[in-house]
Amino acid sequence: MLVDSPTSVGARRRARRWELVAERFPDLSRMEVVDLGGTAEAWRRAPVRPARVTVVNLFEPGAADESWIVPVTGDACAAREALRTAGQGQRYDLVFSNSLIEHVGGHAQRAALAAEARELAPRHWVQTPYRYFPVEPHWLFPGLQFLPMGLRARVAAAWPMAHTKPGSAAQAMSEVQWTELIGVAELRAYFPGSQILRERAFGVTKSIVAVADGP
């Protein structure tokens, strides 16, 4: 698909994001990382490689034969419990989370995710698309995030540029209900004391990142 093409604008921006991660955490190759919401396959494709990464994903963390990737099926908003149940550690060098916090189901769950990130490691990189970027990033539809819910669902069901086209009207509604973009004020409130970085496209903030790079 256009949005997933290796040569797409999105792919180039993801590559630049990895460069920023490597610059911010130069000892990443020696770190124990926990990824909240990621997948094993995403780390295989990544141009960086931690000493070990534990992936916590509610639905599809993937599978791994590699010793440095540990997939865990569990709720990232209760990550410590999921890790404990899976027999994994409770403290890491870095929490990484990419485009998850907008999908966890409202303010209470976002606050829980942020609390887990702060408890699991002294460092974090938590990225989310910026609510006020003109084009909604999951469907690539201008202003979709500002439309009434019913209209958003109808657009999601028909718009051809979504990452994954929903199979039914009910699925389209579920997908828009599970997608709630946030702004800088909310991210700063969830991660007080963290630096908020802005990733820009055409001079406009496209994504925001809460970063803590030391104890």
Say yes or no: 118 and 155 in one domain. Answer: no
Question: Looking at residue 69, which CATH number applies to its domain?
Answer: 3.40.50.150
In what helix (H) or strand (E) does residue 201 lie, and over which residues does it extend?
A: strand 195-201
Say yes or no: 46 and 147 in one domain. Answer: no
Question: What pLDDT is stored for residue 214 in this prediction?
Answer: 78
Name the residue among 126, 101, 124, 127 with its Cα closest to residue 31.
124
Say yes or no: 191 and 124 in one domain. Answer: yes
Structural domain count of the chain: 2
CB atoms within 10 A of CB 159: 16
Question: Is the per-residue pLDDT at 3 higher than 70?
Answer: no
Say yes or no: 120 and 94 in one domain. Answer: yes
Burial of 43 (C-beta count, 10 Å sphere; 0-12/13-18/19+) = buried
Say yes or no: 155 and 53 in one domain. Answer: no
Q: How far apart are CA 17 and CA 39, in angstroms?
A: 17
pLDDT in tens, 147-178: 999 999 999 999 988 777 888 999 999 999 99
Say yes or no: 34 and 105 in one domain. Answer: yes
pLDDT in tens, 4-41: 455 555 566 778 889 999 999 999 999 999 999 999 99
Question: What pLDDT is stored for residue 6 in this prediction?
Answer: 53
Say yes or no: 188 and 96 in one domain. Answer: yes
Say yes or no: 159 and 207 in one domain. Answer: no
Question: Is the per-residue pLDDT at 132 higher than 60?
Answer: yes
Q: Which domain holds residue 33?
A: 2-131+180-213
Residue 93 DSSP one-character state: S
Question: Do 121 and 61 meet the contact criterion of CB atoms below 8 Å apart?
Answer: no
Say yes or no: 116 and 33 in one domain. Answer: yes
